[in-house]
């Protein structure tokens, strides 16, 4: 970085790293996106949609919070991809200033207990966030549940929220800001994530596949950006969709190519919003057998420990 950057951009105030952890599908990425007011982490109703550690940066009123969104911590699956996701989530617990442990409504599962065991080992404060409270059929069950979970660990705070509705997120941000240390801001004020535009484009394509075909396509699908260039005012993006079997390729293409067209259209519209540009998106599909259980293949596709 240049001296000008340090002189003009590095400011003092409050600043710190906050890891968002929890089992799959409790709403960690939705929580981050709503706090940032911008989508940087993809979401779907399927567990384990998030595969990578992603930084989301929010700077306001002298406070810079660097959120670390993580894959859901989970047990029982031994594939290389699952091991990678657990490593990415566990690594986020090291050297952060605060942990936000997200659970869902009044449920407490074996996976929640497993995550709790990891969270107990951290040296920083832990906030327990009970998400999706807007979906509770009986709101009166919430207070007894909070009392019960408060006995599991000495949480710094326990806060019920609804990430999708934005309920109580302002209160959560105030609590986080109050717990962060004084220090120099790590990122420029206008930076929102550490991830590249190519990465975000690939994730948007994968999100649309998960949303449209989550019940038919298992998790052996990934996306690699092969072209990303601007020609005049148009952003040309070429994305390669990798699957493990011919049958999966046929499902994604769909009858007369209709499914692939719909995936491309959905992804292109989101890309145009994200990149504030007209986008020409091209999609290809290739079968690469066994990629999700091959450490070398995962590394070549960007699944690298950070």
Distance CA 60, CA 65 (A): 9
203 and 166 in a common domain: no
Closest to 62 (Cα-Cα) out of 184, 179, 196:
184
CATH number of domain containing 260? 3.30.300.20
Assigned domain for 192 exists: no
Q: Report the pLDDT value the prediction gives residue 298, as an integer from 0 to 100.
A: 74
Residues 177, 223: one domain? Answer: no
Question: What confidence score (pLDDT) does residue 78 get?
Answer: 62
Report the distance separating Cα 262 and Cα 281, nearest Å.
Answer: 12
Cα(286)–Cα(306) distance, rounded to whole angstroms?
A: 27
Contact between residue 237 and residue 225 where contact means Cβ atoms under 8 Å apart = yes
Domain boundary among 184, 216, 251: 184
Length of the chain equals: 306
Regarding whether 155 and 234 lie in a shared domain, the answer is: no
Domain of residue 209 covers 197-300
pLDDT, tens digit only, all 306 positions of the chain: 445 444 445 567 899 999 999 988 899 999 999 999 988 888 887 766 777 778 899 999 999 999 988 776 666 556 676 776 667 667 778 889 999 999 999 989 999 998 999 899 899 999 999 999 999 989 899 999 999 999 999 999 999 999 999 999 999 999 999 999 999 999 999 999 999 999 999 999 999 999 998 777 767 789 999 999 999 999 999 999 999 999 999 999 999 999 999 999 999 999 999 999 999 999 999 998 887 777 777 777 776 666
Tell whether 78 and 113 lie within a shared domain: yes
Residue 175 and residue 124 share a domain: yes
Note whether 130 and 219 are same-domain residues.
no
Under a CB-based contact definition with an 8 Å cutoff, are residues 24 and 72 in contact?
yes
pTM for this entry? 0.85
Q: Name the domain count of the chain.
A: 2
Residue 305 resides in a domain: no
């Amino acid at each position: 970085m240049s001296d000008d950057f340090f002189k003009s951009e590095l400011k003092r105030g409050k600043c710190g790293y906050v890891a968002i952890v929890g089992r799959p599908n409790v709403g960690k990425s939705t929580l981050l996106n709503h706090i940032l007011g911008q989508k940087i982490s993809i979401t779907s109703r399927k567990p384990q949609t998030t595969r990578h550690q992603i930084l989301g940066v929010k700077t306001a009123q002298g406070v810079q919070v660097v959120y670390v969104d993580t894959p859901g911590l989970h047990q029982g699956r031994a594939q290389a991809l699952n091991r990678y996701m657990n490593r990415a989530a566990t690594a986020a617990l090291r050297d952060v200033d605060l942990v936000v442990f997200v659970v869902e409504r009044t449920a407490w599962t074996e996976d929640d207990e497993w995550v709790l065991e990891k969270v107990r080992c951290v040296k920083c404060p832990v906030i327990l966030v009970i998400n999706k409270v807007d979906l509770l059929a009986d709101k009166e069950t919430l207070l007894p549940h909070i009392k019960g979970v408060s006995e599991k660990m000495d949480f710094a705070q326990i806060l019920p929220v609804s990430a999708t509705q934005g309920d109580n997120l302002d209160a959560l941000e105030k609590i986080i800001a109050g717990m962060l240390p004084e220090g120099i801001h790590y990122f420029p004020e206008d930076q929102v994530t550490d991830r590249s535009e190519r990465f975000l484009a690939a994730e948007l394509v994968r999100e649309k596949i998960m949303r449209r075909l989550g019940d038919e396509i298992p998790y052996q699908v990934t996306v690699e950006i092969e072209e990303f260039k601007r020609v005049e005012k148009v952003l040309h993006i070429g994305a390669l969709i990798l699957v493990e079997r011919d049958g999966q390729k046929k499902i994604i293409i769909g009858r007369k190519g209709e499914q692939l067209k719909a995936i491309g259209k959905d992804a292109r519209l989101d890309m145009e919003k994200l990149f504030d540009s007209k986008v020409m998106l091209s999609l290809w599909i290739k079968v690469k057998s066994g990629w999700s259980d091959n450490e070398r293949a995962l590394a070549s596709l960007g699944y690298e420990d950070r």
